[in-house]
A and B are shown apart, each in its own frame.
Chain A
Amino acid sequence: MFKKLIEESTGRSPWLFHINAGSCNGCDIELVSVLTPRYDAERLGFKLAGSPRHADIVVVTGPVTKQSLPRVLRTISQVPEPRCIVTMGSCPQSGNVFRGSYSVAGPLSKYVPVDVDVAGCAPKPEAVIDGLALAAKILKEKRGRMK
């Protein structure tokens, strides 16, 4: 019963940690707008955590530059299991307009398994909510598979 309770709670209380891996700030603004009174992701249980140790969902924006890559990987490894990685915008998925630049190490999926891709440049807040809700569902499934 307790396990069921934990599994149910995991889907309802996903905390986000946002990593800017060289983003142009467009996606970051859209992510923050999801938490504003207009969209209020808190009503679905989402909360922006200040430390990766508290997070369940890691949202990566930006094309993953060579400077940021070791930090991104280190931050993601600090997130306790079960965790879910969401790429936001086109940049972390493919490099977008920065593809082929000398300073870009992406896409992110080369280094860590990515659970959800939210496409758009930048995605609409509604699309971000869609993506995060999907990530919360995956998180719940992952929790169900644990132990």
Chain B
Amino acid sequence: MDFPFIKEAISQLFSKSSCAMYPAVPSEAAPGYRGRIVYHPELCIACGMCERVCSGNAISRSVEHLEDGRDKITLTFNLGSCTFCATCADFCTKHAIEFTGDYHMVATKEEDLLVRGSFIKAAPKKKAPAAAKPENCSAQVQTEASGVKPREDGKPVNDQSRCVYCTLCAKKCPAEALTVDRTAKTWTLDEDKCVSCGTCAQVCPKNCIIMG
């Protein structure tokens, strides 16, 4: 039986403690810490991607039809159900979801843990405007903006007037046949690789991919 820490204990008795005196001395979260969500409704396009990828079912969307034909869309983030994985922020093409370093998420009632934001969106137009056609599209399958018709060979077609270039179809494509460039706003199908499985049409949040 030996006491190896006696020297250590006695020397600590006369030295400064290593405590972070938290409530008295405020402390910042480490860089990259994912704390309270801040939602920027003015950037949101209500694609619903965040809601889909949320593992904790923390995000809910409600649509209120206003009298002037527009929609008031409200997104609610329940921090009491959030895992703070930031997948929603990763998937948000418009960067409308931001994770801040604020960790003071203490509440006595559930209402205090909800982050809400709403914006008013014009009702979807009956006829979508023509999409800008990129210059070099020789190897690309460019679909026409209006009046997209399903292809006869059973491969997918993208309605680019509605596409938000969220890249989910490219991520989910089992054959890696799709290439989507967010910045150049291009949607490219490699016909040789495509197996016509229809996964891209299933996962598309805007339902703008049509299978043949």
- Please tell me whether chains A and B touch each other in their complex, using a CB distance cut-off of 8 A: yes
A37 touches B103 (CB 8 A): no
A124 touches B103 (CB 8 A): yes
A37 touches B18 (CB 8 A): yes
Q: Using Cβ atoms and an 8 Å threshold, which residues of chain A touch B20?
A: 38-39
For the complex, what is the distance from the CA of A38 to the CA of B27, rounded to whole Å?
13
B110 touches A117 (CB 8 A): yes
Q: Using Cβ atoms and an 8 Å threshold, which residues of chain A touch B56?
A: 90, 94, 96-97, 99, 121
Q: Using Cβ atoms and an 8 Å threshold, which residues of chain A touch B55?
A: 97
With both beta carbons as reference points, the residue of chain A lying nearest to B108 in the complex is identified as A116
B19 touches A119 (CB 8 A): no
B19 touches A38 (CB 8 A): yes
For the complex, what is the distance from the CA of A138 to the CA of B106, rounded to whole Å?
13
Given contacts A94-B56, A99-B56, A127-B104, contact A121 B84 (CB under 8 A): yes
Query: Of A37, A116, A126, which is within 8 A of B22 by CB?
Result: A126
Residue A7, interface by CB 8 Å: no
Within 8 A of B (CB), among A74-112: 90, 93-97, 99-100, 109
Nearest CB in chain A: distance from B51 CB, A: 14
Residue A21, interface by CB 8 Å: no
Q: Using Cβ atoms and an 8 Å threshold, which residues of chain B touch A94?
A: 56, 58, 78, 80-81
For the complex, what is the distance from the CA of A104 to the CA of B81, rounded to whole Å?
14
Residue B82, interface by CB 8 Å: yes
Query: Of A38, A95, A118, which is within 8 A of B105 by CB?
Result: A118
B106 touches A37 (CB 8 A): no
Residue A8, interface by CB 8 Å: no
Query: Of B18, B23, B83, B113, which is within 8 A of A96 by CB?
Result: B83
Q: Using Cβ atoms and an 8 Å threshold, which residues of chain A touch B17?
A: 37, 40
Query: Of A39, A90, A118, A125, which is within 8 A of B81 by CB?
Result: A90
B81 touches A99 (CB 8 A): yes
Which residues of chain B have a CB within 8 Å of any CB of chain A? Answer: 17-23, 27, 29, 33, 35, 55-58, 78-84, 103-110, 112-113
Which residues of chain A have a CB within 8 Å of any CB of chain B? Answer: 37-40, 43-44, 90, 93-97, 99-100, 109, 115-121, 123-127, 129-131, 133-134, 138
